[in-house]
Structure 1
Amino acid sequence: MATDAEQLAERRSLRRRLSGWRIVALLAVLAAIVVGSFWAAGDDIPGTAHVARVHVSGLITGDRKTIELLKRVGESAAAKAVLVVVDSPGGTTTGSEAIYDALRRLSAQKPTVAAIDSIGASGAYIAAMGTDRIFARHTALVGSIGVLVQFPNFARLLDIVGVKMEEVKSSPLKAAPNGFEPTSPEARAALASVVSDSYDWFKGLVRQRRHYDDAQLAAVADGRVFTGHQALALKLIDQMGGERDAVAWLEANRGVAKDLPVREWRARSGSRFDVLTYASHIAAVLGFGDLANTLARSELAIDASRLDGMLALWHGPSEK
């Protein structure tokens, strides 16, 4: 029969072995999470040269996640070129400007090409101009060079139901037009000047990027959309085709190696259950309480650092 001292020594040895396996298990799971998260988010994994595919789709708002995505692609040594797939009717003028600026910075780092799938209009066309070359399918919709501000006016409806909005404001043009009263000539003129200024900026960008003279610009800048075939004749795009044609152009004209895989890059989800969160939970399950707490505090600190401070928002008419 084992003595008490032998049993104690055996229990200590067993605890050491268990602790060793727990540490190995924790490290293995952490490594799997880190590699998986980098792969899912499209981050740089050494030795995997590829053409990065980035989508500009839906309503363009210039959100921070998309800007960060383009920055990460630019910093990736594995991404040898960038294919920007455009499929969007546009969005806010400032958001489109932000995406355009980010794509110009990216184009200074590595070759870029845009492929307009079904629609690349208004703000989406602004984004496409941020790349080195624009492709579009024959029947894709391209153009819509213009700026639009829309707002509903419920003044007559409120009169019918007997409701009147009361307000106190610093000056007559503050928050005008507001939809609850007839739009004054002064408010309409002020808004028209904003639209005109944004429109002039848009046209100036088209003139610069597409090398237009006055006549060429006037022919495309009246707000209409064109098919890809029409857009080619008007020099709004450089070439007809889809993604495969765009990649072939990169290979033939930008020194990109042939037959590189095209790899999808996506914006990070921003979920709180990121690598540190998962690691914290796993550490807690495996019995590493101090490590779990440290990881949790680190995750909160990173979240706090992402805030930009106070926000000043004007909930006004939407721009497209």
Structure 2
Amino acid sequence: MSLDSDIIVDRRRIRRKLTFWRVMAALIAIAAIAGFALIATPGAPGTFVSAGSIARVQIDGLIRSDSDRTRALELLEDSQAAAVIVHINSPGGTTAGSEQLYDSLTRLKAKKPLVVVVEGLAASGGYITAIASDHIIAQQSSLVGSIGVLFQFPNFAELLKTVGVKVEEVKSTPLKAAPNGFEPTSPEARAALDALVKDSYAWFKDLVKQRRGMDDTQLEKVVDGRVFTGRQAIDLKLIDQLGDEKTAVTWLEEQKGVKKGLNVRDYKLEPRFSDLPFLKTAASVTLEALGLGSIAHQIAQTGVVQAVDRAGMDGMLALWQPAASN
């Protein structure tokens, strides 16, 4: 009996130690996750930029209104970054979103030396973004321009007529919700849209003329909606210099007095937990330590955000996901 009692006592002691170390591991991992998340938050202290570095901001894809992006750029204004290099690779987007981004970069430029590097494309709204800078650099084969405004909408009137469907409506005035795509566009509706396009186009042209220092003759050569290569754009005053990020750093050093030899570090405008492999690993370790291995496996396969989202879904689900790799 004494031997059995000793075994039981030893087992309980081992269990207590195991529980203690599991809790400690969980606390350490949680603290690490919280600390790294703080660092990775847009504009938070230590966000990949410091007093001894140049911030690299990436503008990719379609440009839309984005309050998080605006907030991140505002925080960059007050950071310790010595300067900012904005890389643009965008076909444009909404006029309002492009104007919002232009305004944000203009405010940022007022506080820090800023230069734009066109990687592959800065067209339409992407070019609106680029001209926020006083100096634009592009590669020889980059495409810039497309100065113009477009309003497109599908019209299904003939299709509906073919299938025998008619959309009925009651509206306060003839131009309410026009065009609607279910009926031929009236001359009045087309004229109203034309006025919108022309007004936005005039704003775009005036912005280019002002920011690029063009006269009317120079402006008329570039505002017909075409894109131009970097080689063409430099002669047309759409950009200032051919080159890449190294060219931008040299310009900052020579023209803006930025200290030589500074590192260029990424400044994330919209980081997500799922973009950070460390967080995925830390979360998995935490859950393994607490004995929640199945959830840890799900995080390892799908990422923190997806695992949390799925954990919050109740009821019957019809959910497709890629098969987990072996």
Q: TM-score range with shorter-chain normalisation?
A: 0.7 to 0.9
Listed as ranges, the matches of 1:9-158 within 5 Å are 28-41=28-41, 43-44=46-47, 49-77=52-80, 79-158=81-160
Matched, 1:238 2:240: yes
The aligned counterpart of 2:264 is: 262
Match of 2:212 in 1: 210
Aligned counterparts of 1:100 and 1:238: Cα–Cα separation in 2: 18
Q: Deviations over 1:235-267 (max 9, x none)?
A: 111111111111111111112122211111223
Shift of 1:76: 1.5
Task: Describe the superposition over 1:217-242 as per-residue Cα deviations: whole angstroms up to 9, x where unpaired.
Answer: 11111111111111100111111111
- CA 1:46–1:169 in structure 2 vs 1: closer, same or farther (change >3 Å)? closer
1:260–1:231: structure 2 CA closer, same or farther, 3 Å change rule? same
Do the aligned residues in 2 keep the contact of 1:111 with 1:132 (CA within 8 Å)? no
Deviation per CA, 1:136-188: give whole Å up to 9, x if none. 11111110110000111111111111111111111100111111101100000
Deviation at 1:282, TM superposition (A): 10
Unaligned runs of 5+ in 2: 3-11, 291-326
Aligned 8 A contact 1:153 1:181 in 2: yes
SS at match of 1:90: coil
Q: Does 1:175 align with 2:177?
A: yes
SS in 1 for 2:178: coil
The alpha carbon displacement at 1:23 in A equals 8.2
- Pairwise CA RMSD of aligned residues? 3.7
Q: TM-score, normalised by structure 1?
A: 0.76
Alignment check: 8 A CA contact 1:41 1:265 kept: no
CA drift of 1:107 comes to 0.5
Question: CA, structure 1 residues 137+280, in 2 after alignment: closer, same or farther (shift >3 Å)?
Answer: closer
**Aligned-partner Cα distance in 1 for 2:229–2:282:** 50
1:51 & 1:228 partners in 2: Cα distance?
24
Structure 1 gaps of 5+ residues are: 2-10, 288-320
**Secondary structure, aligned partner of 1:59:** coil
Partners of 2:49 and 2:235 in 1: how far apart?
A: 42
- Tell me, what secondary structure is at the counterpart of 1:215? helix
Q: Which moved more, 1:30-39 or 1:118-127?
A: 30-39
Amino acid in the other structure paired with 1:181: E
The sequence identity of aligned pairs, in percent, is 53
Q: State whether residues 48 and 266 of structure 2, in contact with CA within 8 Å, keep that contact through their aligned partners in structure 1.
A: no
- Counterparts of 1:39 and 1:73 in 2: how far apart (Å)? 13
Number of residue pairs the alignment of both structures matches: 288
Contact 2:47 2:267 in 1 (8 A): no
Contact 1:138–1:229 (Cα < 8 Å) also in 2: yes
